[in-house]
Structure 1
């Protein structure tokens, strides 16, 4: 039995903790805050709950496998993901509002309906053009899934080997950006606005976003998009409970100050801010790479991070706005979109994500004017109950600048080769948005799985 400390109760840390505790290890999760889920945050106001992080689940198989593999063996036990949570497929996945007034409802997991929706909104041929991007994403997924996603410990060598193959080069187009590839198929500038939004959601500058990011478009279309009735925070709560059910401990208010090493350089445990030292054989760090560097006493090298956002939690008067889809995206000609999330069972609770401009706080009045210009006029009928700034996110997570999507993706390596799960320090493992395989809710579960397999393989 190994003594394992997990630093941070984010989704990747919880995923690793549940798997490792199931394998009869002594697991302690040290979490600085009073809740679990990390960036998968929520805010409560009276009887309303606002999802302030991710609010859509793609690739649910990652969590289905996690719950099955960590479930009780009793036949009567509610062990699977669907036993614990009510997952519902979204339709539409989201509604896009283009600057020219065009609206597009994105269908869920249907190529035929996707073509019809694009052609109706953007004109004949738009659907076929967008499917070319989806198919490019399919090629990307087919080559990276076995070589990098499902190969714990894979890294630069595997990527180099992949790029020596015809299929790898055709899928990843190492010398061409996603925009350059799509330009062969797109003749409508509105399609580029949509493509750019996907790039920004992955933490990339659309001008240089690598073609590898097309895999995210494919995964959403091929495996569908889902919501959790009651809010995405329920997934974090159920996973936290699964960790406890497997015999692990979650200690809240336990902020780790240092990861300790012995004189030989091997990992020996952690020291909390309170001064308490806890011995361990293995440490799994679910923190940003800049935080990991500080915990190791290293100087983090300068690195670019993705854009920051400000989140407004609004209570909207009953019947003040038209029926809302799960997510509405107000695309802009130049720059990031404004996103509005409204859960079906809580139509009064609006979570509005607004691009942050440095230290300048977005003006809510201007945001409401923008919503009104796209047909969502709630001016005078909405009140702010909570605001989360980029500084708030940085204070809570340690991510530089409060970046919404972790380290920036500016090339193929930064898209596919983030910080390695198995670190150079013996006994240290890194999971989460700035580790492999990358950012995103389902990738967090896969990151935790990779760590568990590298620590204690289960064949």
Structure 2
């Protein structure tokens, strides 16, 4: 039985802690804040409650696997997961709206009705090619650890299988996701369905490789899921599973660095100068030189609304502005009694990508900066006919500065999922550190940002620790 210190109590870190404890190791988690969950936070006031981080779960199998392998109770016995249906409603400035059902069938007809005959087939054809990206990169991008420069080099080329181009003149294949959307979908609003979906993951379509279309494929194929009680309910369930496996948590304790002993990780040094010895260290907090290339921040506006939730309101709406090159505004309106004081009130969460906080970004605490940005999001929702402004009891705005304060992530950015292509610049940091016995998990480690990816990082680090450096999963 080895002594293992896990730095941070975010989702990837807790996933690693639960798995390692199940494997028989003595695990201690040190967390600088007073609670668990990392970016999966909650804000509550006056009987209203809001998720302040991710609003939906994709690839729930990652977390189902964690619960199957760490205890007797499966995920569904700990958290009620519900598939969101319709999957999303898209609204455009010209008044056009289209709802995509959760079931794979039916989307083509809805798109034909909204954008004209052939739109649905063009969308389906693009997703079929995106499926090939998923099948060719699923293992190295999601299920296998990243530990060597050779693995990174193998993912430099974009894997998207471009459609055959007709005509006598040879044309350059689209080099970015935005160019791909224009070339293959042709109708600007249809193209915005793809670019808007990718923007939701914090990925700028103008710089992302065409293979980023895989994000839309995964979402359409595996669905969007919402835990009853909000995303925080998932974080609470993972924390409880850790406690069941006798993981020790030490809150209010920041780790500064990994200590070396005989050429390998030998523990961590805390902010107060104390040390915690260990045989291995799993680092799940910002630091260790890891960065988040291409990442942006996110502005979030929490709305407490008077009046009941209108019947038929979709859980998730993407509001596309008149300038389709701008990221859409996401509006989440879960039908969840746990988030509101009574049936005569409703919650809504508006959000959109936003510049990072600080140098090179925006001074978000500056007077008026947050309010002006929040007003813009609400105005976009009003222009789309969502009728929220007149119902607002109060609102709370969270900026990248708040994310930086709460999570320690520099600039308050949200790391993107790992993607192949773009010369490997969309890959996260390796799962191993510079010292033997040091490992990385969380959004800054492979396979990158997002709840499912964070959960996989915990599985990857566990496999490397339990099975050794040659392990290639899955664990």
Give the TM-score normalised by the residue count of structure 2.
0.85
- Structure 1 residues 355, 143: closer, same or farther in 2, change over 3 A? closer
Deviations 1:201-225 (A, max 9, x none): 3333211211232221111111122
Gaps of 5+ in 2: 164-171, 338-344, 356-361, 364-368, 468-473
- Cross-structure match for 1:4: 4
Partner of 1:75: none
Kindly tell me: are residues 292 and 323 of structure 1, through their superposed partners in 2, closer, same or farther at Cα, counting changes over 3 Å? farther
**C-alpha contact (below 8 Å) 1:17/1:27 kept by paired residues:** yes
* Partner residue, 2:191: 192
Residue aligning to 1:387: 397
Q: How does 1:13-412 map to 2 (within 5 A)?
A: 13-72=13-72, 79-110=73-104, 112-153=105-146, 155-158=148-151, 160-161=153-154, 168=159, 170=161, 176-262=175-261, 264-288=262-286, 291-293=287-289, 304-319=293-308, 324-332=313-321, 333=323, 334-346=325-337, 348-356=346-354, 358-359=362-363, 360-363=369-372, 364-405=374-415, 411-412=422-423
CA distance in 2, matches of 1:2, 1:455: 10
Q: Is the 8 A contact 1:329 1:339 kept in 2?
A: yes
How far apart, CA to CA, are the structure 2 residues paired with 1:407 and 1:223? 16
- 1:428 to 2:400 alignment: no
Equivalent residues of 1:9, 1:37 under 8 A apart: yes
Residue deviations 1:310-336 (CA, integer Å, cap 9, x gap): 222211001486753211211222322
Q: Which moved more, 1:172-181 or 1:364-373?
A: 172-181
Instruction: Give the whole-Å Cα distance in 1 for the aligned partners of 2:148 and 2:313.
Output: 43
Q: Is the 8 A contact 1:269 1:280 kept in 2?
A: yes
Gaps (5+ residues) in structure 1?
Answer: 73-78, 294-299
Checking the alignment, whether the CA contact within 8 Å between 1:153 and 1:454 is kept in structure 2 is no
RMSD: 2.7
Q: Secondary structure at the match of 1:387?
A: strand
Partner of 1:76: none
Greater shift, 227-236 or 187-196, is seen at 187-196
Verify the 8 A CA contact 1:109 1:220 in the aligned structure 2: no
Count of matched residue pairs: 439
What is residue 444 of structure 1 aligned with on the other side? 454
TM-score, normalised to structure 1, is 0.88
SS in structure 1 of the partner of residue 194 of structure 2: helix
